[in-house]
């Protein structure tokens, strides 16, 4: 079961401001990436359910991180049905993320007080997810549904919203500043934070440096 409670997870999402999103079939590579992000100041990490036996990898990572990166909050992403959500929570997921909204997942997560952040692409979807108990809603794919201006315009009538954005997010200052200024709780970032060549070379320091740089831009934009 989750080691961090709902309040701690949402607070860490806000405080960190960035949630790395990553999957690799090699647990050792995943450990190196998580460790590199942890050294760079990241405290929330989303492991995506993208490959065969991904849950087995996650179970190993959750046990490892508890000792190696004790302040890291691990969650599972790309979860589209309730049985998968329950499986990951049983393996220690502290939050669940999906590309779509599934009311059955909300029910399963609410029973365990684990945050569920579903992908939403409209004001109605965001509102319906909030009604189902989703404290943090994910705008996805963020670039396609309108970018930072979409978030800013949603936040006007739904000012209580906690919005995470994934898609069209990159670790550049202009990009991160625009998203943070729009009012997001945090941003999710995958391939732009973990270029294939960097992973292939095992250049973990480059990932740490990029995290430090990106988190610096987030902090600056919030001033």
pLDDT digits (tens, 9 = 90+) for 165-211: 999 999 999 999 999 999 999 999 999 999 999 999 999 999 999 99
pLDDT at 3 over 70: yes
CB 139 within 8 A of CB 158: no
Task: Give me the sign of the Cα torsion angle 126, 16, 94, 202.
Answer: positive
Burial class (CB in 10 A: 0-12, 13-18, 19+), 85: buried
- 211 within domain boundaries: yes
Burial class (CB in 10 A: 0-12, 13-18, 19+), 203: middle
Sheet with 186-189, strands from edge to edge, namely: 116-117, 96-97, 73-77, 44-48, 18-22, 186-189, 163-166, 137-139, 119-120
For the chain, the domain total comes to 1
Q: CA of 11: how far to CAs of 38, 54, 71, 138, in Å?
A: 17, 27, 13, 16
Q: Prior bond to 214 cis, omega within 30?
A: no
Structure tokens belonging to residue 139: 């705008």
What is the structure's pLDDT at 1?
A: 53
- 1 within domain boundaries: no
What is the structure's pLDDT at 2?
A: 66
pTM of the model: 0.97
- 36 within domain boundaries: yes
- 95 within domain boundaries: yes
pLDDT digits (tens, 9 = 90+) for 78-111: 999 999 999 999 999 999 999 999 999 999 999 9
- 42 within domain boundaries: yes
- 51 within domain boundaries: yes
pLDDT digits (tens, 9 = 90+) for 117-165: 999 999 999 999 999 999 999 999 999 999 999 999 999 999 999 999 9
Instruction: Count the neighbouring beta carbons within 10 Å of the beta carbon of residue 15.
Output: 10
- 27 within domain boundaries: yes
Expressed as residue numbers, the domain containing 17 is 6-222
Q: CA of 154: how far to CAs of 131, 189, 201, in Å?
A: 16, 21, 41
Q: Could you tell me the CATH number of the domain that includes residue 48?
A: 3.20.20.70
Q: How far is the C-alpha of 40 from the C-alpha of 212, rounded, in Å? A: 5
- 14 within domain boundaries: yes
């Amino acid at each position: 079961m989750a080691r961090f409670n709902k309040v701690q997870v949402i607070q860490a999402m806000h405080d960190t401001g960035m949630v790395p999103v990553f999957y690799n079939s090699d647990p050792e590579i995943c450990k190196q990436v998580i460790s590199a992000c942890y050294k760079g100041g990241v405290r929330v990490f989303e492991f995506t359910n993208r490959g065969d036996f991904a849950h087995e990898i996650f179970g190993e990572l959750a046990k490892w991180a508890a000792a190696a990166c004790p302040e890291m909050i691990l969650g599972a992403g790309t979860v589209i049905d309730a049985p998968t959500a329950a499986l990951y929570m049983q393996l220690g997921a502290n939050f669940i993320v999906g590309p779509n909204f599934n009311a059955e997942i909300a029910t399963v997560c609410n029973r365990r007080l684990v945050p569920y952040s579903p992908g939403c692409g409209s004001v109605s979807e965001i509102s319906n997810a909030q009604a189902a108990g989703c404290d943090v809603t994910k705008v996805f794919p963020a670039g396609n549904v309108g970018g930072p201006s979409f978030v800013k315009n949603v936040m006007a009538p739904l000012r209580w919203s906690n919005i995470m954005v994934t898609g069209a997010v990159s670790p550049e200052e202009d990009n991160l500043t625009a998203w943070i200024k729009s009012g997001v709780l945090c941003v999710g970032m995958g391939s732009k934070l973990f270029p294939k060549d960097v992973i292939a070379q095992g250049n973990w320091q480059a990932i740490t440096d990029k995290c430090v740089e990106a988190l610096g831009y987030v902090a600056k934009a919030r001033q």
